[in-house]
Amino acid sequence: MPRLPVIVLGVSMAAGIAASVFVPWPGPAPEYLFVLLPTVIGLGLLAFGMARAKMRERFLDRHGVPATAVVTRVEPLSWNVNRAAGHPIHLRVDTPDGARTLRDTTGLNGYVVPEGAEVGVRICPTDPDLFRVEELPGGFRVEQARPRFGPAAATVLVLLVVSSVFLVGSLIEALQGIHRMDRFSYPSLLGVLGVILICHWTRSRFAARALSGRAKGEVTAFKEHQSTDATWYFYTVRFRSADDRVVHKISDEPFDSGYSVLVRIPVWYNPDRPAEFLVPTARRERPSMGSSFLLLFLGLLLAGSALLGFWDAV
């Protein structure tokens, strides 16, 4: 995690504790202030970053012009930089001020383009460093080339609104010497988070049904992660879809069985978006359900805790 957000969250938590302890409130000090304050500030930082990226892309939509760029260099896949995205690439594009060399770090969602290939880009004439790759060789679009209001943004927005309402309400009530909303803030946040996790689990189950494509992939590297009770492996997998799109990226989920480098393994992918794929583990020829059902369990647990919290509050 970047250092600045950690500092901001730490300072806001300390401020919440200090406000609860040292401020002479007319009545009881607002409970959970040390939780609500950093929650609102942290979610606000996330929302600001998402909004900034969206505004940047809208500016590029209005003022950018389409152009053709040539791939001059493909960087190796990295475990630490832009994980699970793909290869950073260097591009050469002609602008009114002459040829420029650009570096794209999005990874193109995992799609591989060879050196010398031409890709479609949208670039801002007044700021050539502002650009995005939109089209791959063969006319294929790059999925998620632009930020959109997806599940992550919706989750941040809902949690920000709910936590802000309870933070402001708790402060107003504390200044008036009453103490009612605090009792509902904690179970409400748990309930909202539980519903979000359940919705995410439901969405992941439907998304898994779209992985009808089958291919043989090649393990190009792996990284072992040991916990107290198990050993997990992350892989870089390379495969070719039926429409000749090549994908090379780090697996989104760990697997509980080891593969050797250069071994051929089965890959299940979405035919419309081959970058969405999974690798069945060596122990069973179906996707691992552990992490998915963990989401469902946590969602039900949080939702149940919220109901108990509301029962006690009432």
User: How does DSSP assign 235-283, residue by residue?
Assistant: EEEEEE-TTS-EEEEE-SS-BSS---TT-EEEEEE-SS-TTSEE---TT
Predicted local confidence at residue 287, as pLDDT: 41
Residues sharing a CB contact under 8 Å with residue 224, sequence separation 6 or more, in sequence order:
231, 232, 233, 258
Which of the four pLDDT bands, split at 50, 70 and 90, describes residue 259? low
Predicted local confidence at residue 72, as pLDDT: 95
Which of the four pLDDT bands, split at 50, 70 and 90, describes residue 19? confident
CA distance 112 to 250: 13
Q: Which residue has the higher pLDDT, 24 or 144?
A: 24
The pTM score is 0.68
Q: Which residue has the higher pLDDT, 98 or 92?
A: 92
Q: What is the mean pLDDT of residues 163-169?
A: 79
| Percent of the chain surpassing pLDDT 70 | 67
* 256 pLDDT above the threshold of 70: no
Segment 21-75, tens digit of pLDDT: 777 777 666 666 777 788 788 888 888 888 888 888 889 888 889 999 999 999 9
CB of 162 within 8 A of CB of 260? Answer: no
* 119 pLDDT above the threshold of 90: yes
159: helix, strand or coil: helix
**Consecutive H or E run containing 60:** helix 33-63
CATH architecture of 64-135: Beta Barrel (2.40)
